């Protein structure tokens, strides 16, 4: 059985895969759109020794520390596991 590196998967899950997984679970499209808006709109800031250096927009992955993150990670990983 293949081995999945979950530490890397957390940062690399594509947002459209999360949305399609939620749709396959039967969740309402409006809810999926709200979740997508939450995970696809963060601006990230690099802070080193208390000084901000760079601001950039995330393009994939799930933001660590977000209350939705654990659930949004489990749904797609479970689907990948079932596909093996």
Strands 51-57 and 43-48: antiparallel
- The one-digit pLDDT tens for each residue of the chain (84 residues) are 566 666 666 667 788 888 888 898 899 999 998 888 877 776 777 888 888 888 777 666 666 677 777 777 788 878 777 776
**pTM passes above 0.85:** no
- Find out whether 18 and 75 touch, Cβ atoms under 8 Å: yes
């Amino acid at each position: 059985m293949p081995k999945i590196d979950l530490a890397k998967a957390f940062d690399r899950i594509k947002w459209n895969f999360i949305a399609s997984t939620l749709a396959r679970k039967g969740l309402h499209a409006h809810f999926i759109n709200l979740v997508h808006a939450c995970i696809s709109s963060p601006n990230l800031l690099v802070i080193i020794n208390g000084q901000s250096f760079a601001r950039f927009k995330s393009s994939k992955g799930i933001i660590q520390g977000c209350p939705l993150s654990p659930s949004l990670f489990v749904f797609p990983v479970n689907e990948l596991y079932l596909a093996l």
